[in-house]
Structure 1
Amino acid sequence: MSRRYSREEKAKGPITSQPLGGPKRIRAPELDTSALIQANSLTLIGRVTNPQEQSICALIANLPKKWSLSGSVSGSDLGHDCFQFRFELEEDLRTVLANRPYHFCYWMVILQRWEPTISRSFPSHLPFWIRLKGLPLHYWHHKMIYKIGHELGTLEDYEISSTSARMRLLVDGLQPLTVETIIEYISGEESLVTLDYEGLENHCSLCFRLTHLRAECPYDLITMSTTAATTSPTPQRQTLQKPPPSQIISVAPRTQLAPPVVDVENNFPAEVEPFDSRVDRHGNPFGERVSTRASFVQPLRNKITPQQETSRDERPRDQMRHMSPPYTRSREPRRPRREEVPHRFPRRSGLEKRRYSPERHRKNLESDNHCPLDEEPPTRPPVERNLNLVDFPPPPPPLRVPSTDEVMEELRECSPATKSSRWRSSWHDGEDCS
């Protein structure tokens, strides 16, 4: 037997949807969270004060490098501008908390030990060492420090010495900082005390929040008016409107001036009265307006003995001594002028130059040739010499080779037997053989 479906199961009924623009609500079940609370006991929760300038991923990677830890630490992004650090040792966690405050990218970082709380403003506490300036010396007492600390936040510690008085205060980093306070005494006197925050980085100098600078402050009327003027279109004619009472700032003027005359019909200032009819605060008229046009006054001249104009070179030596040299861009030593450079050949001046003349040219040629141009120049002996006799003499005659008979005949004549026979024959003939 088949089951019949209802109208809701068949989707025939009216569609019931949650309202647009709101998150869906889910009720949490009842759980025993004691084990998870114990597991997260060594955890720090942090928050960045300016998410546009501070990257959580870069912060998790670089912030632990500033800590000298004995154990390990791990970090993760929790969303909503928050992050966490899990420590291994309790000593490391306490050391990190004792060295607060921290900053990243020149903006403050809020670090607080995790607590089992459900709050959108957690973490928010930020400790600062604050130096008190302007407190009378005879009120540098621990009771006075306690009173100021408990009025401004949570007092953690204080230091009083002969030169300064300061306290360690736990303040709310999501709210504006208190930079000045007025101390009222029993005698009815008052004193303005300035709070100097040590280690404070970028913040707004107008509202003293840690989330932006003064140029981006939403409470600055000047910034709001400038932004509105740049974003809104410029009308052809602007009407004078009175600002709301909340934006009027009363400032005591130095002198009370008469209000300007305003044309009610056109909402524009009327023509200003002439300058001559104006009076100052003593009732004296201004008089005629002095022209602002620059006028050149000629110097006084001596009409009896007019001064003669002197050139620069004729000026007195005391004036020439204080004259500065001409400006030059070059830092190299000055090069000599063309007149100062020694030339190889003397140069003619402009007066010595003459125009070309055919007759003068003809005379110059005749002087070079030592004869008139109409006659033929005398022939000169050629500059030459007998190269065959001087440079290239004739070769010697070849040597004659004697024949065999001549050689044998010469040998016979030179032999000792031939010489002795010749001596004998000459002796028999009666010749002198000595």
Structure 2
Amino acid sequence: MEASGGDDREGRDEISLLAEELVQLSVKGSKVVPSSKPTLICTVWTEKIYNPDSFKAHMKGIWKTRKKFEIQVAGQNLFLIIFELEEDLESILEGRPWLFRKSLILFDRLSQAMERDPIKLTSSPFWIKIESCSPEFDKKDLLHAIGGTFGGVLRSEVSEEICRLKINLDAQKPLKRGIFVSTGYVSKVWIPFKYENLPLFCFGCGRMRHGLSNCTQIPPEKKK
């Protein structure tokens, strides 16, 4: 009878691995890496849980692009949108704001690899309509002054009855209802704002991302 010790490797030409040992684990890195094609990174500004597949289907249904685009999940409530054409990416950015289930979608161009944690998407362009322009104010000066309170004017349109300006709106801050304006000749006048294509927002605290019923800053008795 021959004993086979641990050092006896005669006859062992190969080693057979168990099935469990053949499984390869794939762990997502901490970086978000753009494609070689034009790429946007985006998130949905909402506190609600939603299905990423429904988001993909919704955006592919409303966006009209010259060529197809791909939406990839890059993290929790974080997506990469990869375009074939730079013109399609630009048209999507120009068409902002975009909404998904009444919630604002925030975008930024992704040109280089970024760590996932520091990514902050918090602003989006919006149009503000001002209907009651007092004749005492120069309309262009008025729009410039109002735009300054938002960090600047992206674009403006002036007509006899309506003035519009496009500004970059911080989604973290309460919406401004209007502004008091005055000159050396005119006492302060209240100029109300009308935002175009607004998403879901709270009538209590004025912030986007939730409605009044889910607001934690307004006491229940005041919500009524």
Q: TM-score range by the shorter chain?
A: 0.7 to 0.9
Match of 1:365 in 2: none
Aligned 1:276-425 pairs, distance under 5 A: none
> Relative to 1, partners in 2 of residues 1:186 and 1:40: Cα closer, same or farther, differing over 3 Å?
farther
| Aligned residues of 1:124 and 1:174 also touching (Cα < 8 A) | yes
CA RMSD of aligned residues (A): 2.6
- 3-state SS of 1:142 partner: helix
Q: TM-score, normalised by structure 2?
A: 0.75
Please give the TM-score of this superposition, normalised by the length of structure 1: 0.40
Which whole-Å CA distance do the structure 1 matches of 2:98 and 2:218 have between them? 28
| 8 Å CA contact 1:76, 1:83 repeated in 2 | yes
Partner of 1:83: 79
Deviations 1:131-164 (A, max 9, x none): 1244313424222211211222342111000110
Structure 1 residue aligned with 2:90, among 86, 90, 94? 94
Q: How many residues align?
A: 191
CA distance in 2, matches of 1:59, 1:69: 17
The one of 63, 68, 71 equivalent to 1:67 is: 63
Deviation at 1:80, TM superposition (A): 3.4
Q: Is the 8 A contact 2:136 2:186 kept in 1?
A: no
Higher helix fraction (1 or 2): 1
Hey, what's the Cα distance between the residues in 1 that align with 2:111 and 2:140?
31
- State which of 214, 217, 223 in structure 1 corresponds to 2:215: 217
Please list every run of 5 or more consecutive structure 1 residues that lacks an aligned counterpart in the other structure. 1-27, 29-35, 227-434
**Partner residue, 1:107:** 103
Q: For the residues of structure 2 that align with 1:154 and 1:190, how far apart are their CA atoms? A: 22
CA distance in 1, matches of 2:101, 2:223: 30
Matched, 1:198 2:196: yes
Q: Indicate if the aligned counterparts of 1:112 and 1:125 stay in contact, CA closer than 8 A.
A: no
Relative contact order higher in (CA < 8 Å, ≥ 6 apart): 2
The within-5 A match list for 1:116-155 is: 116=112, 120=118, 122-155=120-153
Deviation at 1:54, TM superposition (A): 3.8
Instruction: Evaluate the alpha carbon distance shift between residue 179 and residue 225 of structure 1 in structure 2; reply closer, same or farther with a 3 A threshold.
Output: closer
Q: Is the 8 A contact 2:133 2:139 kept in 1?
A: no
Gaps (5+ residues) in structure 2? 1-29
User: How many angstroms apart in 1 are the aligned matches of 2:143 and 2:36?
Assistant: 35
Q: Counterparts of 2:153 and 2:217 in 1: how far apart (Å)? A: 30
Q: Select the structure of larger CA radius of gyration.
A: 1
Q: Does the residue aligned with 1:144 lie in a helix, a strand or coil?
A: helix
Which whole-Å deviations, capped at 9, do the CAs of 1:273-307 have from their partners, x for residues lacking one? xxxxxxxxxxxxxxxxxxxxxxxxxxxxxxxxxxx
Partners in 2 of 1:156 and 1:171 — Cα distance?
A: 11
SS at match of 1:155: coil
Contact 1:47 1:109 (C-alpha < 8 Å) held by counterparts: yes
Superposition deviation, residue 51 in structure 1? 4.1
Q: 1:107 Cα shift?
A: 1.9
Give the superposition deviation at 1:217.
1.1
Task: Tell me: CA distance 1:62–1:191, structure 2 relative to 1, closer, same or farther (3 Å).
Answer: same
Residue identity matched to 2:63: W
Amino acid paired to 2:62: K
Partner of 1:169: 167
User: Over residues 160-181 of structure 1, what are the superposed CA-to-partner deviations in whole Å (9 max), with x where a residue is unaligned?
Assistant: 0011011011111232222222
Match of 2:147, SS?
Answer: helix
Using the alignment, how far apart are the partners of 2:102 and 2:152 within structure 1?
Answer: 25
Alpha-carbon contact 1:57-1:77 (below 8 Å) kept: no
- The structure in which a higher percent of residues are strand is 2
| Equivalent residues of 1:45, 1:111 under 8 A apart | yes
1:314-369 Cα shifts (integer Å, max 9, x gaps): xxxxxxxxxxxxxxxxxxxxxxxxxxxxxxxxxxxxxxxxxxxxxxxxxxxxxxxx
Change (3 A) 1:176 1:78: farther
Distance 1:182 1:59, change over 3 A: same
C-alpha separation between the residues in 2 aligned to 1:89 and 1:50? 29
CA distance in 2, matches of 1:205, 1:40: 43
User: Take 1:187 and 1:54, find their aligned partners in 2: how far apart are those partners?
Assistant: 53
Query: How far did residue 49 of structure 1 move?
Result: 1.4
AA matched with 1:105: R
Task: Return the letter of the residue paired with 2:141.
Answer: K
Superimposed CA distance per residue, residues 224-262 of structure 1 (whole angstroms, 9 cap, x where no aligned partner): 899xxxxxxxxxxxxxxxxxxxxxxxxxxxxxxxxxxxx
Percent of pairs with identical residues = 21
